[in-house]
A and B are shown apart, each in its own frame.
Chain A
Amino acid sequence: MDLFWKIFDFVNQPVGATHYLAVGAVLFCCGLACMIAKRNAIGVLMGIELVLNGANVNFVAFGSPALWPEAKAPLGLDGQIIALFVIVLAAAEAAVALAIALHFYHTHTTIDVEQANELHG
């Protein structure tokens, strides 16, 4: 009950950094769950994208001057730039991963990751 009220309080607060972080954490967890649970390689890729974006939200939140009005020094653009960098990385990763998936499909006529266990110990 106590926890419920705490969450209720939290939700009723004006939007701040913590809310951003909560969204990021939710995204991250969703992405992780997606990666674990999905058998389709494309789905796993999607999960990865979610995880990356969860991280991105955190970067943006920490790097936003609007959310940190009392900061002693200017925050600069570091957070945003890293977010952009992550997006680029994600695009590249998606390209490579899709190529792998495509190749895997060519050889195994499936993209079920459960089947891709030939290197197991």
Chain B
Amino acid sequence: MNTLNYLPTLLGLAWLLPLASFVLILFFGPKMGKAGKCAGYLAITAIGTGFLLSAISACIWCSHYPPVAVSHEAAHAAVANDQAATGTQTVAGTRTEAALEKTAAEVADAVVTDIPTLDAEVSEHAAAPVVREWYTLCEFGSLRLSFGCYIDALTIAMFCMVTLIATCIHVYATGYMHEELEPMVDHQAKLRDGSPLRRPGRYHRFFQYLSLFCFSMLGLVISGNLAMTFVFWELVGICSYFLIGFYYERESSSMAGNKAFIVNRVGDFGFIIGMMIFWSALGTLNFGDMPVHGGSRTPVATTQAVESGDPVANDAVVTDAGAVSESASNEVVDIQPGIFTLMRGATLPGDDDPHRLSVPQGFIDLARGAGAEDPEQFAYILMMIGGLGIFCGCVGKSAQFPLHVWLPDAMEGPTPVSALVHSATMVAAGVFLVGRFYPAFVPEVLLVIAAIGCITLFVAATIAITATDIKKVLAYSTISQLGYMFFGLGVGGWFAGMLHLFTHAFFKSLLFMGSGSVIHAVHTNEMTEMGGLLKKMPWTAYTMLVGCLAIAGAGIPLIIGLSGYYSKDAILAQGYSFMTFEGGSNPYGGLLFWVPTFGACITAFYMFRLWYLTFLGKPRDAHRYEHAHESPWSMVAPLVITAVFAIGCAWTLPVVNGGLKELIMQAEPAGVAAGSQLGEIVQVLMPAESLSHEHSIHVFVSLLASGLALLGFVVATVIYALRKIDPQKVADTFRPLYVLFKNKWWFDEIYDVVFVRGSIAVGGVIAGIDKLGIDRFADGLATQTRWISKIDEWIDRCIVDGCVNGIARLTYRVGDTLRQVQTGNIGNYVAWVGVGAVLLLAIVSMLYLGIDVPVANIPIR
């Protein structure tokens, strides 16, 4: 029995536990202990169990596919070997991934002899995803919507990361939200008479939303197709809306919630368009290859599902995307290819790279159906638009330029929410989706992703310099770091971007929880009212220092560093590789490298500015300083745990010679590592990621980034710690820039004028047209109808009714008259009979015998 088969069940359980917790709290929340206190424990139990299950899954996965480091020398030797084999020509499609990995593995075998599990066989079929279909929602002909899972190393790692951070934050929230256990007086929500709002505590409701969020986020991670992703995408969106608006009595909170939701709609519109393009072209939304029983379209039941995984099994069916499937009962004869296979599986004759991105037949058919003159090019453009659409959704969710404006406002929510939803997990979902959907993006789309990421990381970093609200600084820092991830992904660094997602999740949740701990102690967000808190709350201060160091990418170059050092380094190295690739022919290559590199300097500056302003110097508000205190253990413990991960999560662990980096590397889409890809519309050439491990690149970028970060750190120290330069003077010197940054580049104002006022103006014009044109026309019609109906009514009343009533009246009169005859006197009747008889006789006589009827004429006998 292959233990990989347990993965869908284990992860599915970890996914559904928070849902159960949500439902229970929803119905019984207020009754759980005093003021719903036990709701918190229930939610922690659910997510904690989820973490345990995820950890077990990770162990199972690692026992099958050990995430073992290939030493640097080996990797470089592999690249060198490969280059030697294929000549110096590095243009698209000259390398095969299998060949690369095989050589890498052989060399590794030779160099690292103490790893017996690594052999060429394993690494060639490395880490096939486990694909299942759980439930079919509906089928339209060949199109079908279903719930399923796509489990690869990335899914496993995301599950562990999300559940671990969520568990920490749940524990943290029991401390942070304890005020909600009592009836609250909300001083920020004023009633009409100016008095503060009094309301019952909403402790249980907070955990209810957190549970729902965990369920949605895990569903998003595990989902096996785009439609399911979209469903959970929207679910995390609504959870974010609920949690931002947790203090919905405050106007700013409810406005921020609305803003987040509406801005996300803009991105989701693009998502839907992209999804429709892929669906209509490929006829499936599944990521992976779905085994279908007996060639029929019956859904695959979980129990009978194909056993995925064991790569050395003899009857394994190996598909192009690398999904390895076998069946216990040999029932499976048909594999329904998923998007990745369709996009990357169509090998052209003479092309020795099996995973090169090529235009699938479905797109060409679609283009031909649309009557395009050049179907191939039209199909390529369609692929581009589809990819951009999907990315558009990610821009909204991950708060990238130009849709980044909602995230700073989202800080209105409670701080645990900011730590979990708006820094570590949900906003990273956009990055996750780009990473997941990476095989389907053409180089042009990647260039757009890189550009957007680059703009975002710079703009957000500059705004973070001048912000004084501690959470706003972190929010802009989050946007900036997400920009780094997109930039890394966009220049071909799948692994770099994904690694930064994980490291960022740890140190940013740490920083947010630290800021929450500070806010909890001093009851303000403004750093101008803090200062000198190091003595009062050392645990918070030092863990936050770890976070600052991690995000700044501190480390001893080329030897060891905090987690951020590795990820940022990988991203910048890939950027450098992108710039210099093929003699620097890539468009905007220079800009795309130097801006993020300079951004590293800004990052270090604003993070240490935050730390110095908060913890060093003299207390700027004596009253607040007096009341400050270290937070309870429930808040400190999560800080320490995340600090540990912020330091070491990217390390290659010494005993097992592997770690998170190697685990993520397993999920790298086929064809990304080796295949350099040339765009058809824009001449953009994506360098293979393995190239950025080149020693010269690595050393140069590592030293440059560390130097710049050090520069930022030094500047911050000089200005804010040593107070050698007055910050106010600096601000005055760079007045225009300071105003620009302080006003957040006027994005909100521009959007207000262009979109909000624009919409209102357009609405006003349309309302005018309505009133003057359509309403008048409708009114005129109505008036005419009234006139016509009045005439009609008169006809009805006088003529039709008159006839009928007249007849009735006449009948009545006649009857009334004739009634008089019916006297009831028998004599009268008899008299009438007699008269009648005589009359009858007379008439008959007159008619038959002539008027003249003399009795005497009757012959008498």
A interface residues, Cβ below 8 angstroms from B: 6, 9-10, 13, 16-18, 32, 35-39, 44, 47, 113-114, 116-121
**Separation of A8 and B830 alpha carbons in the complex (Å):** 32
**Separation of A16 and B861 alpha carbons in the complex (Å):** 6
Q: How far is the CB of A87 from chain B (nearest CB, A)?
A: 21
Closest chain A residue to B819 by CB distance? A121
Q: Which of B545-587 contact A (CB under 8 A)?
A: none
**Separation of A9 and B855 alpha carbons in the complex (Å):** 13
**Separation of A117 and B822 alpha carbons in the complex (Å):** 9
The binding surface of chain A is classed by DSSP as helix
Q: A35-B830, A116-B826 are in contact. List 4 more A-B contacts (CB 8 A).
A: A36-B827, A117-B825, A120-B823, A121-B824
A119 partner, pick from B824, B827, B831, B861, beta carbons under 8 A: B824
B interface residues, Cβ below 8 angstroms from A: 818-827, 830-831, 834, 856, 858, 860-861
**Residues B860 and A10 in contact, CB atoms below 8 Å apart:** yes
**Separation of A113 and B826 alpha carbons in the complex (Å):** 7
Q: List, in ascending order, chain B residues with CB within 8 A of A119's CB.
A: 822, 824
**Residues B830 and A117 in contact, CB atoms below 8 Å apart:** no
| Among A17, A113, A121, residue most surrounded by chain B Cβ atoms (within 10 Å) | A121
Take A32-B834, A120-B822, A121-B821 as given contacts and tell me if A113 and B860 are in contact as well, using a CB distance cutoff of 8 Å.
Answer: no
| Among B825, B830, B860, B861, residue most surrounded by chain A Cβ atoms (within 10 Å) | B830
**Separation of A44 and B858 alpha carbons in the complex (Å):** 33
Q: List, in ascending order, chain A residues with CB within 8 A of B858's CB.
A: 18
B818 partner, pick from A10, A113, A121, beta carbons under 8 A: A121
**Residues B827 and A35 in contact, CB atoms below 8 Å apart:** yes
Closest chain B residue to A117 by CB distance? B824
Closest chain A residue to B820 by CB distance? A121
**Residues B861 and A17 in contact, CB atoms below 8 Å apart:** yes
6 A-B pairs closest in CB distance: A120-B824, A117-B824, A121-B822, A121-B819, A16-B861, A35-B830
**Residues A113 and B819 in contact, CB atoms below 8 Å apart:** no
User: What are 5 contact pairs spanning A and B, CB under 8 A?
Assistant: A17-B861, A35-B830, A36-B827, A116-B824, A120-B822
Q: How far is the CB of A15 from chain B (nearest CB, A)?
A: 9
**Residues A13 and B860 in contact, CB atoms below 8 Å apart:** yes
Take A36-B831, A36-B834 as given contacts and tell me if A18 and B861 are in contact as well, using a CB distance cutoff of 8 Å.
Answer: yes
Q: How far is the CB of A109 from chain B (nearest CB, A)?
A: 18
Q: How far is the CB of B832 from chain A (nearest CB, A)?
A: 10
**Separation of A9 and B860 alpha carbons in the complex (Å):** 10
Q: List, in ascending order, chain A residues with CB within 8 A of B821's CB.
A: 121
Closest chain A residue to B861 by CB distance? A16
Closest chain B residue to A119 by CB distance? B824
Q: List, in ascending order, chain A residues with CB within 8 A of B819's CB.
A: 121
Q: List, in ascending order, chain A residues with CB within 8 A of B820's CB.
A: 121
Q: How far is the CB of B838 from chain A (nearest CB, A)?
A: 10
Closest chain B residue to A35 by CB distance? B830
Q: List, in ascending order, chain B residues with CB within 8 A of A38's CB.
A: 827
Q: How far is the CB of B861 from chain A (nearest CB, A)?
A: 4
A113 partner, pick from B822, B825, B834, B861, beta carbons under 8 A: B825
**Residues A13 and B861 in contact, CB atoms below 8 Å apart:** yes
**Separation of A18 and B825 alpha carbons in the complex (Å):** 35
Q: How far is the CB of A44 from chain B (nearest CB, A)?
A: 6
**Separation of A47 and B856 alpha carbons in the complex (Å):** 29
**Separation of A50 and B523 alpha carbons in the complex (Å):** 128
Closest chain B residue to A48 by CB distance? B830
Closest chain B residue to A9 by CB distance? B860
**Separation of A25 and B831 alpha carbons in the complex (Å):** 16
**Separation of A38 and B830 alpha carbons in the complex (Å):** 11
Q: List, in ascending order, chain A residues with CB within 8 A of B830's CB.
A: 32, 35-36, 44, 47
**Separation of A18 and B824 alpha carbons in the complex (Å):** 37
Q: List, in ascending order, chain B residues with CB within 8 A of A37's CB.
A: 827
**Separation of A13 and B859 alpha carbons in the complex (Å):** 12
**Separation of A39 and B827 alpha carbons in the complex (Å):** 8
Closest chain B residue to A18 by CB distance? B860
Closest chain B residue to A114 by CB distance? B825
**Separation of A74 and B860 alpha carbons in the complex (Å):** 22
Q: List, in ascending order, chain A residues with CB within 8 A of B822's CB.
A: 119-121
**Separation of A15 and B831 alpha carbons in the complex (Å):** 32
Closest chain A residue to B837 by CB distance? A32
Q: List, in ascending order, chain B residues with CB within 8 A of A17's CB.
A: 861
**Separation of A40 and B281 alpha carbons in the complex (Å):** 110
Q: How far is the CB of A102 from chain B (nearest CB, A)?
A: 17
Q: How far is the CB of B812 from chain A (nearest CB, A)?
A: 13
**Separation of A10 and B860 alpha carbons in the complex (Å):** 8
